[in-house]
Structure 1
Amino acid sequence: MSLLAGLSWQVSPANDFGEIHNWDELLYFFNHTLPECHMKLREDTKQVTLFVLYLAIFVVGLVENLLVICVNWRCLGRGGLLNLYIFNMAIADLGIILSLPVWMLEVMLDYTWLWGSFSCRFTHYFYFANMYSSIFFLVCLSIDRYVTLTNASPSWQRHEHRMRRAVCAGVWVLSAIIPLPEVVHIQLVESSEPMCLFMAPFETYNTWALVVALFTTVLGFMLPFPLLVIFNVLTACRLRREGWPEGRRHCLLVCAYVAVFAICWLPYHVTLLLLTLHGTHVSLHCYLVRLLYFFYDIIDCFSMFHCVANPILYNFLSPRFRNQLLSTVVHYLPKVRARGDRRASSSSSSSTQHSIIITKEGAQPAARQLPHPSLPLRLS
């Protein structure tokens, strides 16, 4: 976010920088030497669109991820093979969701930052750390799902839970380290209006910007996406080959996993690289540059759609998760009813158990368990 805000000043000729000695002079220089591309782009319309998108993602993502965390928290100790990755991914997605109100206000204030220098760095750090965590847990889930399907050795089964906990801890540590090269150069710039921007050393700004952009693209897309594709395709092929009853459904889910990841992240990284390389390594047409800068914030906002899509793809489409969600609701619902009407406790308890009581005249009551379909491998 702040990286592109800083890069937006690089559209003027670099060979005129010799007469500039500090960032204040640079701000003035860029504000008066932008290329003349007369395009009617409505900033007010963009701000309203961004606010609506941020608000929709915030509301829906908050509800979804809280439900996923609640349900998987109750099921972590009960044999859910891959619940740990899904649980941690939901926490990371929730962290991204919780940072959205700041971006909403920043957009509506025309990118004026009113919350001080510490929050300028911390908010970006918090967002990027959770962004990488969410992507890495998604990759770990895809790899572990295939390994669990193909590896039946007693050694793996004995140590799989310990290995998963170690992997999750490693992902959080790695995700906490990766954003540091960018965050250390994020500063609160006090110009006419305070702005939170990526401000690397003046003499090496282009190099730093390129390194950070490549770093983000490689770790955030170029490495995770092939791994996601390979292991999901291998899992789908293995299920089809072994004749699983829902093999076709799982193949469709695999296509959805890959497509959603590509749709959310590919436009963001392509735009980031083009704008970073512009002016130093490639030359883009003036109108294209204007369009990329104008739509970058919308593309960046759209990349957060994965916080809404992940709970649906990896939780709500699973019959097993839906039964667990119903079980969680049923677990807490009788307590509320009991407080309101203690006299109806006998009837309410019979209606909220996980069984159906069938009685006939002259026959003993019989209990039949509600169906709780689950596969030995959680695939969705």
Structure 2
Amino acid sequence: MMFLRYAVYRLFTMLITLFVVSILVFAIINLPPGDYLSNQIAELRATGQAEGVAKAEFLRTEYALDRPIWEQYLIWAGFAPGPNGFSGLLQGDFGWSFEFDRPVAEIVGDALWLTVLVNLAAVLFVYMIALPLGVLAAAKSETWVDYTAGFIGYLGLATPNFLLALILFYYGHKYFDLPIGGLMDPIYEGEPMSWPKVKSILLHLIIPTFVIGTSGAAAMMQRLRANMLDELSKPYVETARAKGMAPARLLTKYPLRMAFNPFVADIGNLLPAMVSGSVLVSVVLGLQTIGPSLLTALKSQDQFLAAFILMFVALLTLIGTMISDLLLVLLDPRIRYGARGG
């Protein structure tokens, strides 16, 4: 019952935070002078294209860009009626992309779930690599195992993602016949889901998962190793060792559980870091994620497209943070006690 109350409380705080983030995102997007349509109108007037100016002016009115910034926000979020009534984020209308001349929902439709898929695969890769290597490095401290794991970690941190992408792009195809670019074969784009399409996606995921997850796995491995070494040096471990507890049980019973807390807490930071870190990788590898669209939207001041993508990244961040908080409450009795005390 206490856990359910805490989960409801975290959900409520997440929604409040998302509301505040939406204000900040919309304000920051509109900080640069002008917008896509204003810039377009200036160019059209300079070239004497009266019809284009009329269309751009119509779009400014249609999407309330001629109104004060606070009113634009309320209409965009769906809190106030616009020219077409209540039609904002709350109603499922993500706005119009002026750069692509299409609804934002059409542009990001497939890209959203592909972005989530790529980054979930990268998160799983991070944990599958960092957990065993971090524990092994701590258990075999100052041995060749520790030094090898440390070298792998530093190599992963020092190698830029885009450079690693280019290397694997070439050698993965040359020696392992892995597909080049994209997240599926072109013949499956726009097609309904099927087993051949799933196999194509899984095959295309290998290189992006490795590239995006490498630096995160290296950093997390180093943190887990440091936390484990700190726990292994505490008196309760020496006492358990003196009483003859088996080394494997000694390692996993308490030290790993205590060192695992920051490991779980990193979920909240890992998801947005993966999304933001995969933008350049997505461009290099030609991935159909939201990264390239965000880059284009920011360059052209396509405010509705950029704002929605940033809100999506913020939502991933908040969901990741909530998941990590709930897992910590389940894993650590001290946190549960603290929740009751609050």
- Please, what TM-score do these two structures have when normalized by structure 2? 0.28
Which of the two has greater helix per residue?
Answer: 2
- TM-score using structure 1 length: 0.26
